[in-house]
């Protein structure tokens, strides 16, 4: 009778060979009782006897590839921490790359990681990633999109509820008396996340019948330039709300506002400020800034969890879009 391999046992149980290896080596603290019972049942029914090499070998498919836009940015850094912690607890290693939202770099990383034997990917995808996704599907490599999917994607996506959260928050600000609206946005922000952030703001303003102005900033935009723009639009007779539609824009706007003489006197009657935060710095600012807190760490953990489930169960996930609620912290910068 042919001796069964660990791969065949894994296939019969419906888990990865890494899970079988963990079971054989007694590493079951993160393994459900049901999975352990299934493994033991198959081993007993088949009479499977692992070799010494099988008990000690570290399989190559206990690695996942993570490709983020820019790991130096706060969202990516926090998300990566969540991804790595969840993966480590499940016995997986993480290989990381930054595509800088370039399809060429993205393709290069995917090819390199495939050669290293990864069994799945977590990706902040470029618009064209769908081309690669089809190839990965043929290779049975699982993919989870973190926040940013490719065009017309049907894959599993983990994201915050940016649109609804922004819509509700801006609507509340309007209800509190702000009658002039400015939105400041990073011109280089991803068109996917940026679209939700801006769409929520625009819909709230339009539904309230209030016009707004948009100011796009670049990496080279100085705090002096931002102050000059705001000085031209902050009215003595209106309550102006400035909404920064991404993390970096909020930081830059705050630094620009601080250039005003006696800037603290502007808040919150003449001037309100609200935007996105990941790290919590807005709690330490003066005044403390009303913020939409992005659950980047939680998004990372859930993305890692879902990918590992897909790898080990060999099945797809029915819930393709998993939305995590953002939290709004109302502080001194708004009414």
State the DSSP string of 183-231.
EEEETTS-HHHHHHHHHHHHHHHHHHT--EEEEEE-TT--HHHHHHHHH
Q: At residue 151, does pLDDT exceed 90?
A: no
Superfamily, domain 162-294: Response regulator (3.40.50.2300)
Q: Where are the domains of the chain?
A: 6-46, 63-160+297-325, 162-294
Overall average pLDDT of the 286-315 stretch: 93
Element (H, E) at 256: helix 247-257
**Structure-token match 């791969």, residue found:** 7
Q: What is the pLDDT confidence band of residue 193, given thresholds at 50, 70 and 90?
A: low
Do 162-294 and 63-160+297-325 have the same topology in CATH?
Answer: yes
Q: Which of 85-99, 178-192, 287-301 has the highest mean pLDDT?
A: 287-301
pLDDT at residue number 303: 97
Which pLDDT tens digit goes with each residue over 116-147?
889 899 999 998 999 999 999 999 999 999 98
Which pLDDT tens digit goes with each residue over 209-218?
999 999 999 9
Element (H, E) at 144: strand 142-146
Which pLDDT tens digit goes with each residue over 224-265?
999 999 999 999 899 999 999 999 999 999 999 999 999 999
Residue 121, token pair as written in the block: 């990917």
**What fold is seen in the domain 63-160+297-325?**
Rossmann fold (3.40.50)
Which pLDDT tens digit goes with each residue over 13-52?
988 777 887 788 777 777 888 998 999 999 888 888 776 5
């Amino acid at each position: 009778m042919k001796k069964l391999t660990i791969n065949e046992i894994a296939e019969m149980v419906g888990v990865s060979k890494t899970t079988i290896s963990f079971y054989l080596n007694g590493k079951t603290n993160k393994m459900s009782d049901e999975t352990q019972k299934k493994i033991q049942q198959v081993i007993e029914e088949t009479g499977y006897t692992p070799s010494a090499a099988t008990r000690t070998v570290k399989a190559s498919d206990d690695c996942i590839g993570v490709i983020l836009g820019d790991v130096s940015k706060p969202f990516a850094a926090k998300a990566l921490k969540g991804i790595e912690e969840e993966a480590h607890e499940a016995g997986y290693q993480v290989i990381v790359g930054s595509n800088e939202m370039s399809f060429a770099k993205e393709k290069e990383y995917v090819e390199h990681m495939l050669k290293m034997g990864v069994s799945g990917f977590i990706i902040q995808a470029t618009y064209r990633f769908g081309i690669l996704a089809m190839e990965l599907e043929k290779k049975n490599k699982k993919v989870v999109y973190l926040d940013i999917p490719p065009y017309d994607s049907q894959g599993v996506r983990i994201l915050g509820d940016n649109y609804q959260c922004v819509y509700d928050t801006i609507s509340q600000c309007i209800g509190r008396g702000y009658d002039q609206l400015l939105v400041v946005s990073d011109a280089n922000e991803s068109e996917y996340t940026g679209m939700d952030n801006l769409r929520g703001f625009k819909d709230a303003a339009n539904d309230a019948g209030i016009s707004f102005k948009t100011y796009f900033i670049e990496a080279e935009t100085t705090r002096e330039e931002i102050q000059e723009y705001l000085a031209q639009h902050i009215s003595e007779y209106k309550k102006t709300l400035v909404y920064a539609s991404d993390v970096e824009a909020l930081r830059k706007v705050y630094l620009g506002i601080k250039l005003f003489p006696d800037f603290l006197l502007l808040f919150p009657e003449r001037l309100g400020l609200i935007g996105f935060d990941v790290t919590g710095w807005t709690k330490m600012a003066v005044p403390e800034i009303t913020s939409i807190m992005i659950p980047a760490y939680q998004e990372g953990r859930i993305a890692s969890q879902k990918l590992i489930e897909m790898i080990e169960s060999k099945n797809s996930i029915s819930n393709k879009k998993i939305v995590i609620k953002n939290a709004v912290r109302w502080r001194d910068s708004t009414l």
